[in-house]
Amino acid sequence: MKMHLSASGKGFSLSALASAVLLLSCSTLAADLPENQFQTQPIGHGLYELAFDGTSNTLFAASTPSFAKEKNGGIVFKVNPSTLATDANIATQRRAFATALDEQRHLLYIGNTVDGSVTVIDTRSGKELATIELSESMKEDQFTPTREMVLDKKNQRLYVSGTSQKGVLWIIDTAKREKIATLSNMGEYPTGIALDTERGHLYCVNGSGELITLDTTSHKILKRVVVEPSKKHFFLNIGLDTKTGRAFITDPDLPNVLVVDIDSGKILHQIDVINSLAVLFNPIRSELYITHREAKRISIVDSNSYRVKNSITTRALPNSLALSSDGQQLFASIKQSKEEMEKKQDYLLKINLGGL
């Protein structure tokens, strides 16, 4: 498999993905809704992950405006979710990609993918409180970039996947703000992770098509399953329905989102959609939201029937997703193509789900 890793660690694809994905059809797609029916707002260059803070009614958007050697910093935009206007910019010393938010403690964790670290920000003052180093080496042949982050607020743990051929999972004690464990044996390129605090399980998917279950107390691997052995999967993202024990897994190189039983690892269903990137489960509305980056589309799927309820077409490339606290508003970061990125800003898209 030929694999390409974007600087954010968010996009893996075959070289022919962009052309192939547009030729794929989806029989269950609802009628397309154009982006101009929804609220949009240009924000800045290099948008990546989003985080919604219900306590302050703020949407945080992490960005890396430049990859030039002399421009190492990032920006976290504080956005008014009602208007999508930027209220403030938080400058970070390192480039900003992934996000994890602790609303109660007023802390925002930013993944510094290309630096192999995590930045801790006070959401009230906007000050950087700490930088937690994760990658053991900055040498090119030994460096491991960070990718996804999941916060266990109850036990004050932050889990961070490290994407390299010999992938790792880092564990941070957020009270002490230090790395307390590096778990190896996570398979090639561990990518998406999801947490079930009630079961005490962490789920990780990787480039070998595995679903790995870890115990969050002992940090031992309880189970690892190759989900669909008949196909070569490079899993990217995972959404979780903890109530029914289902995982929703994307592979951007192949169509369909897999619905997997998290206990057995067996496939329960394959959602009939085109090649997918991000996936987000909304338990309040029993819906899934899926971005189809190269096809410039976002799907809204009934998580019970697996029927595509709505399909929204975008002008540029939909990337990451976030939900409001009440589950009634969906936000997406939309990135410009390489050809347009210097001329146009990335932007936010807001979808009022109750109006669909």
- The mean pLDDT value for 36-59 works out to 97
Sign of CA dihedral 318, 34, 239, 122: positive
The model's pLDDT over 272-323, given as tens digits with 9 standing for 90+, comes to 999 999 999 999 999 999 999 999 999 999 999 999 999 999 999 999 999 9
Pairwise CA distance, residues 245 & 229, whole Å: 21
Evaluate if residue 13 carries a pLDDT over 60: no
Evaluate if residue 22 carries a pLDDT over 60: no
Pairing relationship of beta strands 210-215 and 221-226 according to DSSP bridges: antiparallel
Indicate the pTM of the whole model: 0.90
Give the list of residues 6+ apart from residue 38 with CB closer than 8 angstroms, or none. 312, 349, 350, 351, 352
- The mean pLDDT value for 36-63 works out to 97
**DSSP-assigned beta bridge partners for residue 62:** 76
The structure tokens 């309820």 sit at: 309
Evaluate if residue 3 carries a pLDDT over 50: no
| Residue 123: band (very low, low, confident or very high) from pLDDT cuts 50, 70, 90 | very high
Tokens representing 151 are 């916060």
Per-residue confidence (pLDDT) for residue 344, from 0 to 100: 95
The structure tokens 């042949």 sit at: 141
Pairwise CA distance, residues 180 & 134, whole Å: 10
Cβ neighbours of 217 (radius 10 Å): 8
Evaluate if residue 1 carries a pLDDT over 60: no
Per-residue confidence (pLDDT) for residue 166, from 0 to 100: 84
Asked whether 12 and 192 are in contact (CB, 8 A), the reply is no
Cβ neighbours of 128 (radius 10 Å): 16
For the chain, give the percent of residues with pLDDT over 90. Answer: 85
Evaluate if residue 351 carries a pLDDT over 50: yes
Between 6 and 291, the more confident residue is 291
Evaluate if residue 6 carries a pLDDT over 50: no
Pairwise CA distance, residues 179 & 159, whole Å: 10
Per-residue confidence (pLDDT) for residue 139, from 0 to 100: 63
Judged by average pLDDT, the poorest of 57-61, 166-170, 349-353 is: 166-170
Judged by average pLDDT, the poorest of 11-15, 158-162, 349-353 is: 11-15
Pairwise CA distance, residues 212 & 204, whole Å: 5
Asked whether 306 and 23 are in contact (CB, 8 A), the reply is no
Sequence length of the chain is 356
Tokens representing 278 are 């991000």
Q: What SS3 state is found at 312?
A: strand
Asked whether 267 and 228 are in contact (CB, 8 A), the reply is yes
Asked whether 66 and 45 are in contact (CB, 8 A), the reply is yes
Asked whether 89 and 80 are in contact (CB, 8 A), the reply is no
The structure tokens 């052995």 sit at: 229
Asked whether 38 and 349 are in contact (CB, 8 A), the reply is yes
The model's pLDDT over 213-238, given as tens digits with 9 standing for 90+, comes to 999 999 999 999 999 999 999 999 99
Per-residue confidence (pLDDT) for residue 84, from 0 to 100: 98
* Vertex 187 angle, CA 181 and 192, to 5°: 75
Asked whether 146 and 117 are in contact (CB, 8 A), the reply is yes
Per-residue confidence (pLDDT) for residue 77, from 0 to 100: 98
| Residue 2: band (very low, low, confident or very high) from pLDDT cuts 50, 70, 90 | very low
- The mean pLDDT value for 105-117 works out to 97
Evaluate if residue 48 carries a pLDDT over 50: yes
